[in-house]
Amino acid sequence: MKKSIKDLGNLQGKTVLMRVDFNVPLKDGAITNDNRITAAVPTINYALEQGAKVVAFTHLGRVKEEADKESKTVAPVAKRLSEVLGKNVTFVSETRGEKLEESIKNLQNGEILMFENTRFEDVDGKKESKNDEDLGKYWASLGDVFVNDAFGTAHRAHASNKGIASNIGEGNSAYGFLIEKEIKFIGEALDNPVRPLVAILGGAKVSDKIAVIENLLSKADKVIIGGGMAYTFLKAQGKEIGKSLCENDKVDYARELLDKAGDKIVLPVDTVVAKEFSNDAPSRVATNDIQADEEGLDIGPASVELFKEVLQDAKTVIWNGPMGVFEMPNFAKGTIGVCEAIANLSDATTIIGGGDSATAAIQLGYADKFSHISTGGGASLEYLEGKVLPGIDSLSNK
């Protein structure tokens, strides 16, 4: 078991380095969705209320060259954090150096500072993303303890998570409440679920989710497969799929999985097809008659009903990936139907594994109907695969 922030003892007067995931969407310099900021508030407030000096830092997008810095500054993020916390957040427009060091020294107990985008260190040799040893040591030298609350980057070994944890000193690193929540929900759902456990997988490619499918087949009672990845399985069953998305090099693999899993895998029984990849394209529902010039863009109504039936007795549900091209309203009905079916389960633990399915649930207004929506797309996917996440693994043991 890894340490939680509560296991670090009294934080009064300590400088707490806190990796947060404030990689939020920006449009013309304005934040369009601050969910990731508000999600970190409980951990930040816990440290501040104990009288800690908090040094928060995050990445924001990809920074490849000097010209990227202007649009990727975290200054607007620090401003929004200040509004959310209802207190001043000192912003330091540096990632290292005398100005940053002095600002940290000048912090009083219960005050918070945020420094510039950690990925600015990637402009000269990917120091952040490649976990540069000197950078990890330097950042670790700025504080007394380290708290990682950025689940969204926990699957990466970066200087701002593993680098600091490896250099902060024995017993001085822990995870925050957000990562604790991710571990609790996803970890328990996989390792100790209340059954039946039903997993729903969507998205475009089988190849992106091979390890997830295999891990979930060993743990779940049923695995529902929709989205673009379903057509590779349908082709493996000998069905005509027209121009639908298909990974031909994975058809044999899909066939093997179907043979091995039997009725544990549940596939769509009808498809909404069109001749063009466009929201305005004329569409129809096809059962077993997808034509050569048609492609599947959503699951059909009978599939939604079938999936609802499978879900009705579920006690634990994990959903990762949309059922169709949900960005196009005319091909979002399958995703909406599945989202509603999960949201309306009265006595089940329901988890969304980040990414597009999380976006769909939030856009559809069902966010508060789920037990947990993961804040990490790639991280939750690797966690569902059963992988060790270096950003968590590198933290101190209890």
The residues annotated with a catalytic role in the active site are: 36, 205, 355, 378
Decide if 109 contacts 53 (C-beta within 8 A).
yes
Tokens of 21: 């995931």
Rounded Cα–Cα distance for residues 101 and 103 (Å): 5
Distance of CA 372 to the CA centre of its chain: 11
| Other residues' Cβ atoms within 10 Å of the Cβ of residue 123 | 16
Backbone angles phi, psi at 41, to 5 degrees: -60, -45
Q: Measured in Å, how far apart are the chain's first and last C-alpha atoms? A: 6
**Residue 326 CB partners (closer than 8 Å, separation 6+):** 332, 334, 335, 336, 356, 360
Using DSSP bridges, classify how beta strands 271-274 and 283-286 pair: parallel, antiparallel or unpaired.
antiparallel
| Other residues' Cβ atoms within 10 Å of the Cβ of residue 238 | 7
Rounded Cα–Cα distance for residues 342 and 348 (Å): 9
| Other residues' Cβ atoms within 10 Å of the Cβ of residue 32 | 9
| Other residues' Cβ atoms within 10 Å of the Cβ of residue 297 | 26
What are the beta bridge partners of residue 200?
224, 319
Tokens of 374: 């993961």
DSSP state of 160: I
Backbone angles phi, psi at 52, to 5 degrees: -80, 160
